[in-house]
Amino acid sequence: MPTSAKIKSHAADESAEHPLDTIGRKYHLRMRGADASSDSLSEGVVVPALREAIVEGVLAPGSRLSEVQVARLLNVSRTPMREAFAQLEREGLVTVVPRVGAFVRSVTLRDVEEIYTVRAALECLAVELAAQRITALGRAQLDDVIEAMRASVAAQNPASYVDALDGFYTIVMAIADNRTLRDNHAALIGPVRRLRRIAMSRGGRMQASFEQAVLIRDAIVNGDPRVQQLMREQLQAACKAAVDVLNSSAK
């Protein structure tokens, strides 16, 4: 474990703001008016801010997460830090080494295989339920998010495309209307978003993902029995793209 890899301190430029400051402020704004207990700060600020920083590559794999430094950057006390690190470890984004500290976890080929296997089980069921329970509102929501995805593809903006794709899956889960399914899927949110961003860095993946998402949308709306197979094909292609990117970066 590379204990020397820490969050960059920006010591060379005291006026420079660490990206974690900016991310933290965004979640503090969302927390305004809410209970400011350590539990709520952990769930409302620390966990989502660190999750976003890890997923977006602001915190590199192997980086040591100092409780003191992260607390200062996120403008919180050290009290919510331990629970936040434990939650991120459960999500597979952080490794906590007793008496040493927390570190940003690297993505392995085994991670990719395991996560996409579980995603296939959950998301294939979700689209099948969504096809059975689609409503006029659900149809309109899918149409809106597909248009957002289309605009991101046209602009060649992978970051906004992945955000829209996140929205697509959120809407599918809402239409499926199964709380146990939704909660289990939500537990994968950090690793899934991280792998999506890795997969989208492969040339042509964004366009292919969008075209398949349109087919999935049409199958849900029309009650097409092929909807599970279409989702399975989407996930197989995404898994292959992520594996290809990881293999290329290892060379």
Residues 134 and 238 in one domain: yes
Where does a domain end: 48, 71, 104? Answer: 104
Q: How many CB atoms lie within 10 A of CB 153?
A: 18
In this structure, the answer to whether residues 129 and 90 fall within a common structural domain is: no
How far is residue 93 from each of residues 56, 59, 60, 85, measured CA to CA in Å?
A: 12, 11, 11, 9
Tell me: do 39 and 154 sit in the same domain.
Answer: no
Q: Which two tokens stand for residue 232?
A: 């399975």
- My answer on whether 211 and 122 are in the same domain is yes
Q: Would 9 be classed as within a structural domain? A: no
Residue 46 shares a structural domain with residue 88: yes
Q: Is residue 8 part of a domain?
A: no
Residues 205 and 137 in one domain: yes
96 and 121 belong to one structural domain = no
pLDDT of res. 5: 47
If asked whether residues 236 and 183 sit together in one domain, one would say yes
pLDDT tens per residue, the chain (251 residues)? 444 445 554 444 444 578 888 888 888 888 775 555 555 778 889 999 999 899 888 898 999 999 999 999 999 988 889 899 999 998 889 999 988 889 999 989 999 999 999 999 999 999 999 999 999 999 999 999 999 999 999 999 998 999 999 999 999 999 999 999 999 998 888 888 888 888 888 889 999 999 999 999 999 999 999 999 999 999 999 999 999 988 987 76
The CATH number of residue 130's host domain is 1.20.120.530
Instruction: Indicate whether 13 belongs to any domain.
Output: no
Instruction: Determine the pLDDT at residue 198.
Output: 87
**Residue 35 confidence (pLDDT):** 56
Same domain, 205 and 95: no
- Does the residue 232 lie in any domain? yes
Residue 15: the pLDDT is 47
User: pLDDT of 98-108, one tens digit each?
Assistant: 888 899 999 89
Domain membership of residue 229 (yes or no) is: yes
**Tell me, what amino acid is at 79?**
T
- Which residue reads 């793209």 in tokens? 241
Same domain for 78 and 182? no
Whether residue 180 sits in one domain with residue 94: no
Query: Domain limits at 210?
Result: 109-250
Task: Render pLDDT for 30-76 as a digit per residue (tens, 0 to 9).
Answer: 877 555 555 577 888 999 999 989 988 889 899 999 999 999 999 99
Residue 34 lies inside a defined structural domain of this protein: yes
Using the 3D structure, point to which of 104, 121, 140 is the last residue of a domain: 104
Contacting residues for 161 by C-beta, under 8 A, at least 6 apart: 149, 152, 153, 200, 206, 209, 210
Looking at 68, 87, 104, the residue that finishes a domain is 104
> Which residue stretches of the chain are H helix?
19-31, 38-41, 47-55, 67-73, 81-90, 109-133, 136-154, 158-176, 179-186, 189-200, 205-222, 227-250
Determine, yes or no, domain membership for 151.
yes
Interhelix angle 136-154/205-222, rounded to 10 degrees, is: 170
The answer to whether residues 102 and 85 touch, using CB atoms and an 8 Å cutoff, is yes
The reply to whether 60 and 179 lie within a common domain is no
Yes or no: say if 168 and 145 are a contact pair by the CB < 8 Å rule.
Answer: yes
Q: Tell me, what's the pLDDT at 89?
A: 92
The domain total for the chain is 2
